[in-house]
Structure 1
């Protein structure tokens, strides 16, 4: 039995604070992708919302999360760099969705900019088999983890040679059941190029919608 299409902006309590996000559940969806966008990267909101819409078109539910911190918490710079706090928040958000009547029986995934990679890794390690896979976009920052139990896709511009070399080194160090680097041709920074962003959207959508077609990079 399929679910009816559901779309709503929701506010919900997490660890004594209130966060907000847009939840969209297409009919027949059995995978929910949490799409994270922090305030400091709000200029990319239109692109990441376009990605959510593309996933919805493939019958994949999405939760567009407007940051893991409240406005007041963001004013304290150390909070924005506290990966333990941010990963714990992501875990709490995931648990909230796991208990939501519309999404409790779904598989879960994460997508966002590569600067969020550390919290993706930390959350997936603690959540064990509750996360199906995740995708991060752009050059990977230094990480404190070297093990991951879920498949990983990193999307990066093919002209970002230095970033590719860094990401390949990082990927070699990370133990994962499946990992792939998807290169966007002709792009050093696909976040700034709307046409190249279409290729980013396709790579991420294909990853989540066709797991059997994934290939290790």
Structure 2
């Protein structure tokens, strides 16, 4: 399924202008907002691949840079979860105003530190997020208070050879009080570069969003 709408968008978040690519298939089940990890961008081949697979499964996507080019050069900004969460919340608000997405359920897909920001954003009382998927994420960085407040069904995906991140995800998983699942992809390292591993991530994400986005309408 090819996108019917492909639109380069700019979202104002405070003083920052965030650039992104919105793609919507015909009659989308919802729209998934991507929160990339530290040192990555909306052009990340891994997130672009997953977004393409979601679109083929009938789910709209918004790949967007949560940091400006200047901010992304500062390592501290990349790990500023509060800043990333604020930016993510601003983009969520924009999706609820935008003509082509205002009526659609919203899902979040976070990678690395973006996973923490996605969970913090989902924990907000007014977020109304339909589902969350974290790929190789750092949900521990969201903090216990936020994890306990998440109500959106949450899927944590971790590589089977990413030992430290597996431990962190298991600890965060035990704190989550929502519908939840933890999937470990055999033989995958942190970036899911091994053959077939990113395909497995995309398939799991498509199944999760395909189940939970329509249920939230």
TM range (shorter): 0.7 to 0.9
Structure-2 residue corresponding to 1:171: 173
Aligned residues: 207
Query: Where does the alignment leave 5 or more consecutive residues of structure 2 unmatched?
Result: none
Would the aligned equivalents of 1:156 and 1:183 in 2 still touch at CA under 8 Å?
A: yes
**Alignment root-mean-square deviation, CA:** 2.4
Question: Conserved in 2, the CA contact under 8 Å of 1:91 and 1:127?
Answer: no
Q: Distance in 1 between matches of 2:59 and 2:112?
A: 21
Which of 127, 133, 138 in structure 2 is aligned with 1:140? 138
Give the structure-1-normalised TM-score: 0.85
> Counterpart in 1 of 2:77?
79
Cα displacement string for residues 121-149 of structure 1 (whole angstroms, at most 9, x for unaligned residues): 22112254521011111153533233111
Instruction: Supply the distance in 1 between the matched residues of 2:114 and 2:48 (Cα, whole angstroms).
Output: 17
What pairs with 1:133-212 in structure 2 (closer than 5 Å)? Answer: 133-138=131-136, 140=138, 142-143=140-141, 144-145=143-144, 146-147=147-148, 148-175=150-177, 177-189=178-190, 191-211=192-212
Cα drift, residue 75 of structure 1: 3.3
Quick check: 109-118 or 4-13, which moved more? 4-13
For the residues of structure 2 that align with 1:75 and 1:185, how far apart are their CA atoms? 33
Question: What is aligned with 2:87?
Answer: 89
Matched residue, 2:32? 33
State the distance in 2 between where 1:203 and 1:100 align.
28
The answer to whether the 8 A contact 1:132-1:151 is kept is: yes
**After alignment, is 103-112 or 179-188 more displaced?**
179-188
Contact residue 35 and residue 112 of structure 1 kept, 8 A: yes
The equivalent of 2:19 in structure 1 is: 20
> Offset of 1:115 from its aligned partner?
2.0
Offset at residue 164 of structure 1 (A): 2.6
Displacement, 1:5? 1.6
Q: Which has the larger radius of gyration?
A: 1
**CA separation of 1:37/1:118 partners in 2, compared to 1, >3 Å: closer, same or farther?**
closer
2:50 matches 1:51: yes
Answer with 152-161 or 100-109: which moved more.
152-161
SS at match of 2:48: helix
Measured at CA, do residues 159 and 82 of structure 1 come closer, stay the same or move farther in structure 2, by a change above 3 Å?
A: closer
TM-score, normalising length: structure 2: 0.85
Aligned mate of 2:116, from 104, 115, 118: 118
